[in-house]
């Protein structure tokens, strides 16, 4: 790759003045930079300034100062700013989508999903934060005499470490409820997602959020990421299970909380009463959206043996009909993978499966003619536990098809392995599908959809069981993770100790009498 700093003839994909206006927002004081290129054609996008550990410390210092002021801003005013951000995102959707496509290589329609997801998140927390953060009234030890309220107090500065696969959503959506709860944010996006994250920061500024409340640092996960976990009051991490474990250990050492949104090997179940065509249409989106680089996308597909052949034929047919071309265009169904590492991993999973006897129903090859990191959408059959892609997350456009006979059997197989992020069930009988969902050990189960029904229902929690993480984003859970609970109990009229003239023994007897009455009255 040409280094455009050394090669003045290099053709950039983006206007460099605009890029420099964005990158000026990275908290970085030295000269170190890193070139970022587009996965579409390798064209340079710009140079990202790199933050040192001292820069991370400076980012936290500024964020802390800003947070102290922000904590006094009423929640309704914070909400007003967030609704303003919502409007700006919709107004600037084309510019945002263009940048997401350039930086990630994903097809425009999938980049646009991100724009909508962040806008919807801004609307949701712009309308609901005050309700989620309102103090709760709880029963006191002496009813009427002990008045108790539980307050939601900001944690302080939240560190957000995010991956490359959904650069706009992952950079912003988790941070918006953190701001609404009165926190500041120091964010470290992935190196292949920094420009989009910086555009998000620009939008926050344009919406009127105070200067310094949102900081971005850039650099390697090992160095800068660790600096964040050493300074934050709470960490929101999205990425691989391996890194998630490291983050969890670092947070445990400091006794701070963290939410971990990690990997998956998600199962889709097509029951015998499902409409094969509807299920096949859903399976294409389930497996190949964003080239399969989506934590909630499907990599294991279990189909009732009665409809297996009909379903498989439709699924292959629909997959072969997908369109590939310029990811900037709406008509393109799938773009390239994000990097050579991703291409190598996906290729290795498919080659390993084929070498050990799996059958390729469609796809199975890299296609340099369609893009430097393009890999065909691939459907495998006959995958066995000896093959890497049986249980390990591929995080690419590869799905394995398995027939099943009984529902008990398929639930056991869906629960196999250590992940538990998302599952999908296709059936005409929604009550039966709901009953099966209750037996699946995943944080979300979608019926007659793959992932969008739960992910886009922003009032409900989203996250993983087992090795897929802990904690939840979205809904009341997604904002309350960013607050400390503080109980304030006000005692009136009668103190909680022996009354005047009463001995400790008499006070003890009174407590016992009171306890019996409360039990009879069924007061908790
Ligand atoms: P990754 O763990 O390699 O990197 C994620 C982020 O962590 C990056 O910003 C990276 O720089 C940083 N990082 C790396 N090492 C670090 C360290 N030692 N300390 C602190 N930070 C560090 O993951 P990835 O390959 O970028 O992302 C793909 C993975 O993310 C997949 O497993 C996918 O399933 C998962 N993911 C999960 C969700 C979810 O919501 N559950 C969403 C998107 C992606």
The span from the first CA to the last CA of the chain, in angstroms, equals: 68
What is the per-residue pLDDT across 287-306, written as a single tens digit (0 to 9) for each? 999 999 999 999 999 999 99
Interhelix angle for 276-288 vs 308-320, to 10°?
50
Residue of the nearest CA to atom 35 in ligand 1? 239
Residue-wise pLDDT tens digits, 445-468: 999 999 999 999 999 999 999 999
Separation of alpha carbons 301 and 316, rounded Å: 13
Query: Are 396 and 346 in contact, with CB atoms under 8 Å apart?
Result: yes
pLDDT at 143: 86
The pTM assigned to this predicted structure is: 0.95
Active-site pick, 227, 261, 299, 376 = 261
Share of the chain above pLDDT 90, in %: 95
User: Which tokens hold the place of 48?
Assistant: 């990202």
pLDDT at 524: 81
pLDDT at 444 over 60: yes
| 421 in contact with ligand 1, CB cutoff 6 A | yes
- pLDDT(13) > 90: no
Write out the E strands in 389-473.
398-404, 422-426, 444-447, 469-470
Cβ(236) – ligand 1 distance below 6 Å: no
- Ligand 1 contact via 226 beta carbon (within 6 Å): yes
Where do the domains of the chain lie? 53-133+153-262+476-483, 266-461, 498-524
276 lines ligand 1 (CB under 6 A): no
Read off the tokens for 297.
């996308």
Q: DSSP secondary structure string, 235-261?
A: EEEES-HHHHHHHHHHHHHHT-EEEEE
Rounded to whole angstroms, the Cα distance separating 256 from 253 reads 8
Best mutation site among 48, 163, 231, 398 for ligand 1 pocket (most ligand atoms within 8 Å of CB): 163
CA 240 – ligand 1 centroid, Å: 4
Q: What is the mean pLDDT of the chain?
A: 96
Q: Does the annotation mark 295 as catalytic? A: yes
Residue 261 a catalytic site member = yes
Percent of the chain with pLDDT over 70: 98
Reference 81, options 205, 224, 220, 170; nearest CA is 205
Query: What does the pLDDT look like over 66-82, one tens digit per residue?
Result: 999 999 999 999 999 99
Instruction: Check residue 6 and give its pLDDT.
Output: 47
Helix%, strand%, coil% for the chain, nearest 5: 45, 20, 35
Span 416-444, average pLDDT: 98
pLDDT at residue 332 is higher than 80: yes
* Average pLDDT, integer, range 7-19: 80
For ligand 1, the distance from its centroid to the CA atom of residue 69, given in whole angstroms, is 32
Task: Read off the pLDDT of each residue in 368-396 and give the average, rounded to a whole number.
Answer: 96
pLDDT of residue 139: 92
Q: Does the pLDDT at position 9 exceed 80?
A: no
Nearest by Cα to 200 from 57, 100, 127, 78: 100
Q: Is any ligand 1 atom within 6 A of the Cβ of residue 396?
A: no
Instruction: Return the pLDDT at 395.
Output: 98
CB distance 225 to ligand 1 below 6 Å: yes
Is residue 51 scored above 60 in pLDDT?
Answer: yes
**135-155 residue pLDDT tens:** 999 999 988 999 999 999 999
Kindly give the number of the ligand 1 atom that is closest to the alpha carbon of 225: 20
Pick from 78, 118, 68: which is nearest to 208 by CA? 78
What pLDDT shows up at residue 487? 98
Closest protein CA for atom 43 of ligand 1? 295
Superfamily name and number for 53-133+153-262+476-483? Aldehyde Dehydrogenase; Chain A, domain 1 (3.40.605.10)
Per-residue confidence (pLDDT) for residue 5, from 0 to 100 = 52
Mean pLDDT throughout 414-442?
A: 98
At residue 371, the pLDDT reads: 87
What's the pLDDT band for 1 if we cut at 50, 70, 90?
Answer: very low
Ligand 1 lined by 243 (C-beta under 6 Å): yes
Tell me whether strands 298-304 and 266-270 are parallel, antiparallel or unpaired: parallel
Summarised one tens digit per residue, pLDDT across range 223-245 is 899 999 999 999 999 999 999 99
In angstroms, the CA 115 to CA 94 distance is 9
CATH entry 3.90.180.10 includes domain 266-461? no
Is 10 a residue whose pLDDT tops 70? no
Distance 260 CA to ligand 1 centre (A): 10
Task: Give pLDDT, residue 12.
Answer: 79
162 within ligand 1 shell (Cβ under 6 A) = yes
Q: State pLDDT tens for residues 471-495.
A: 999 999 999 999 999 999 999 999 9
**Arithmetic mean of pLDDT, 363-373:** 94
CB 295 within 8 A of CB 463: no
């Amino acid at each position: 790759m040409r280094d455009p700093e050394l090669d003045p003839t290099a053709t950039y994909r983006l206007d460099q003045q605009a890029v420099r206006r964005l990158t000026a927002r990275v908290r970085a004081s030295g000269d170190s930079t890193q070139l970022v290129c587009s996965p579409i054609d390798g064209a340079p996008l710009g140079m990202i300034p790199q933050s040192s550990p001292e820069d991370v410390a400076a980012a936290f210092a500024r964020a802390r100062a800003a947070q102290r002021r922000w904590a006094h801003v009423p929640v309704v005013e914070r909400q007003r700013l967030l609704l303003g951000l919502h409007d700006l995102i919709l107004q600037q959707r084309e510019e945002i989508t263009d940048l997401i496509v350039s930086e990630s290589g994903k097809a425009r329609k999938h980049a646009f999903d991100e724009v909508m997801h962040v806008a919807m998140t801004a609307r949701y927390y712009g309308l609901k934060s005050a309700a989620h953060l309102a103090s709760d009234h709880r029963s006191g030890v002496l009813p009427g005499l002990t008045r108790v309220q539980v307050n939601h107090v900001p944690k302080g500065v939240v560190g957000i470490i995010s991956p490359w696969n959904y650069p706009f959503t992952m950079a912003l959506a988790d941070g918006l409820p953190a701001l609404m709860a009165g926190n500041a944010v120091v964010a470290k996006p992935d190196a292949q997602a920094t420009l989009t994250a910086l555009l998000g920061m620009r939008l926050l500024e344009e919406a009127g959020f105070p200067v310094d409340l949102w900081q971005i640092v850039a650099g390697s996960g090992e160095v800068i990421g660790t600096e964040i976990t050493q300074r934050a009051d709470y960490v929101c991490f999205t990425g691989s299970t391996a890194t998630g474990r490291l983050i969890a250990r670092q947070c445990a050492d400091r006794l701070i909380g963290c939410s971990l949104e990690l990997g998956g090997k998600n199962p889709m179940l097509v029951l015998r009463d499902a409409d094969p065509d509807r299920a096949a249409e859903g399976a294409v989106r389930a497996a190949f959206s964003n080239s399969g680089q989506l934590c909630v996308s499907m990599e294991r597909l279990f189909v009732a043996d009665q409809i297996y052949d009909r379903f498989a034929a439709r699924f292959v047919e629909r997959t072969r009909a997908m369109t590939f071309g310029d990811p900037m265009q709406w008509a393109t169904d799938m773009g390239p993978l994000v990097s050579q590492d991703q291409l190598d991993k996906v290729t290795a999973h498919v080659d390993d499966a084929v070498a050990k006897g799996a059958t390729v129903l469609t796809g199975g090859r890299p296609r340099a003619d369609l893009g430097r990191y393009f890999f065909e959408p691939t459907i495998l059959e006959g995958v066995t536990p000896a093959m890497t892609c049986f249980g390990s997350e591929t995080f690419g456009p590869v799905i394995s098809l398995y027939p099943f006979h009984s529902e008990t059997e398929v639930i056991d197989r869906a629960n196999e392995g250590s992940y538990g992020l998302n599952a999908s069930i296709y059936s005409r009988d929604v009550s039966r599908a709901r009953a099966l969902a209750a037996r699946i050990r995943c944080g979300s189960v979608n019926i007659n959809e793959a992932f969008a029904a739960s992910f886009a229902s922003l009032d409900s929690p989203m996250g993983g069981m087992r090795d897929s993480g802990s904690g939840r984003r979205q809904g009341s859970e997604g904002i309350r993770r960013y607050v400390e609970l503080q109980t304030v109990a006000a005692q009136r009229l009668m103190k909680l100790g022996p009354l005047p003239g009463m001995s400790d023994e008499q006070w003890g007897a009174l407590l016992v009498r009171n306890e019996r009455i409360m039990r009879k009255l069924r007061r908790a």
